[in-house]
Amino acid sequence: MLTDHALEQYRDNDLHWSADLVVALENVRLGLALEWAIECAKSLVTHAGAPESKERLLRWLEELSQAETLSNGSALLKQSDTIWHDSRDLIHTTIAHLYAALAHLRQGNTPRYRTFVIWALNVMGDHEYFRQTSLATPLTLFEQFLAKHG
pLDDT in tens, 41-87: 999 999 998 899 999 999 999 999 887 556 688 889 999 999 999 88
Q: Domain of residue 41: give its range.
A: 2-149
Backbone angles phi, psi at 53, to 5 degrees: -120, -5
Radius of gyration for the chain, computed over Cα atoms and rounded to the nearest angstrom = 14
Helix (H, G, I), strand (E, B) or coil at 37: helix
**Which amino acid is present at 41?**
A
- Measure the CA–CA gap between 134 and 84, rounded to whole angstroms: 26
Any idea how long the chain is?
150
Query: Would you tell me how many other CB atoms lie within 10 Å of the CB of residue 4?
Result: 9
- Measure the CA–CA gap between 28 and 82, rounded to whole angstroms: 32
- Measure the CA–CA gap between 136 and 150, rounded to whole angstroms: 20
The confidence score (pLDDT) of residue 69 equals 56
The confidence score (pLDDT) of residue 68 equals 57
pLDDT in tens, 109-144: 999 999 999 999 999 999 999 999 999 999 999 999
Count of structural domains within the chain: 1
pLDDT in tens, 1-34: 999 999 999 999 999 999 999 999 999 999 999 9
